[in-house]
């Protein structure tokens, strides 16, 4: 099954207020690809640290410094075959085990990293916890649902993002 992540939320188009822009100046996300962690800082102080999944060697995660360009609810759609464009309702999380995707709990951040397509890479929650700590995505940074639900309200649009080896 081939799928693509599509961000779909009114929040994505919302313009941040001056106070949120100010708040974002003091926040930073650092993704370390070598140890597969995401760290969230406020005013230089480490606030949260999470294990994440990253891009596989054939489709690596981007490297560089950018910012959060969007945030919102996420949906997954088929990209190939007769169901192209249709929303994926079920996903296989282990061999033989299928679960309904809990879209009410799926969130994500769109990243703008210079030199990369700004609509291709996201930090987003996934239903398959077995992929956390592994290089198995098409370049996105994957988080466990509870971790993303904790981080999501803390991150503002325009928060700095650094992805490093």
Catalytic residues: 124, 140
d(C-alpha 126, C-alpha 148), whole Å? 9
Quick one: which H or E segment has residue 53?
Answer: none
Residues 69, 111 contacting (CB under 8 angstroms): yes
3-state secondary structure of 25: coil
CA–CA distance, 127 with 100 (Å, rounded to integer): 9
Task: Judge contact between 161 and 110, C-beta under 8 A.
Answer: no
């Amino acid at each position: 099954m081939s799928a693509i992540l599509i961000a779909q939320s009114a929040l994505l188009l919302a313009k941040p207020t001056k106070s949120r822009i100010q708040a974002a100046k003091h926040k930073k996300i650092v993704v370390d690809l070598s140890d597969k962690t995401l760290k969230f800082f406020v005013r230089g102080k480490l606030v949260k640290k999470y294990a994440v999944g990253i891009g596989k060697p054939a489709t690596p995660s981007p490297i560089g410094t950018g910012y959060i360009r969007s945030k919102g609810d996420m949906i997954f759609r088929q990209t190939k075959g007769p169901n192209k464009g249709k929303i994926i309702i079920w996903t296989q999380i282990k061999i033989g085990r299928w679960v309904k995707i809990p879209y009410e709990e799926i969130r994500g951040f769109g990243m703008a990293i210079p030199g990369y397509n700004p609509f291709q890479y996201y930090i987003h929650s996934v239903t398959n916890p077995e992929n956390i700590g592994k290089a198995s995505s098409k370049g996105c940074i994957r988080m466990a649902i509870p971790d993303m639900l904790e981080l999501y309200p803390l991150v503002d649009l325009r928060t700095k993002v650094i992805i490093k080896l």
